[in-house]
Amino acid sequence: MPTAPVRDIVTYYEEAGSGHPLVLIMGLGGDLQGWALQVPALSKYFRVITFDNRGAGRTSAPDRPFTIATMADDLAALLDRLDIEKAHILGFSMGGYIAQEFIAAYPQRVDKLILLATAASIDGYGHAVVNSWIDVRRSNLSREQVIRTRAPYVYSPELLDDSERYERAIQNALSNPYAQQDHAFIRQAQAILAFDAAESAAKIKSPTLVAVGKDDILVPPRNSEKLAKLIPGATLKVLDGAHLGVLEYPNEYNAVFLEFLGASS
């Protein structure tokens, strides 16, 4: 099992493919299994590194405060362990926050940057949603109930209207044998609530793609539009789907990623 001692934790990671490194950073509550529909396509052209953030999947989950900057430093330490000096970075949702903190602290280590379904800072709407999710995790709801309460925020109207697809999505989430512990979710969520990279976004020099699903109500497209305006020369792409559009429409998203990264799909 590929693990690496990274600072005060042990990080679980996986690699696929060869070539220039491409690091995929998962969002709140997710683990590297969430990239299952991206890795096969992207690893045809790149050395793809996926990993579990602190508090998620098979990585350590210490019950003490997390920050987005801490998680960015975790990534830097993992890349050191893997002898990777520079990589393309793709960050999804909270992973986009981590990617922004990473490029702010280690600008020389980023080639191209993809920020997916994310923002430069969390707004009042985001605060309200995340705080409500923290309350849910502190309640006595079952794991299935927790998953169902989040579903309307992350899936498209088309999936929610299709009872068969919706139930399949719920059961797929329930089948994850590495479910995140409540305290770890809360620690990650609290890190999100403290995040603000609006000032540093204007200093990003790497070629940047900002992508978002048109029906995303968790991190609405207005956030991505603002982020793209803050980053000099950034490209904005509005794609099909909601917050998890990358899972619902993997071929469309993968093609956009590969085109931006200079590979052919």
Q: What value does the mean pLDDT take over residues 81-110?
A: 98
Laid out side by side, the sheet with 110-116 consists of 3-6, 9-16, 47-51, 21-25, 87-92, 110-116, 208-213, 235-239
* Range 3-261 classified under CATH 3.40.50.300: no
Q: What is the sign, positive or negative, of the torsion defined by CA atoms of 99, 64, 59, 186?
A: negative
The whole-number pLDDT of residue 164 equals 97
Residues 21-38 have pLDDT tens digits of: 999 999 999 999 999 999
Residues 97-113 have pLDDT tens digits of: 999 999 999 999 999 99
Nearest-angstrom CA–CA distance, 168 and 164? 6
Mean of per-residue pLDDT scores for the chain:
97
Domain range list for the chain: 3-261
Letter string b/e over residues 188-216, b meaning 16 or more CB atoms within 10 A of that residue's CB: bbebbeebebeebbeebebbbbbbbbebb
Residues 229-258 have pLDDT tens digits of: 999 999 999 999 999 999 999 999 999 999
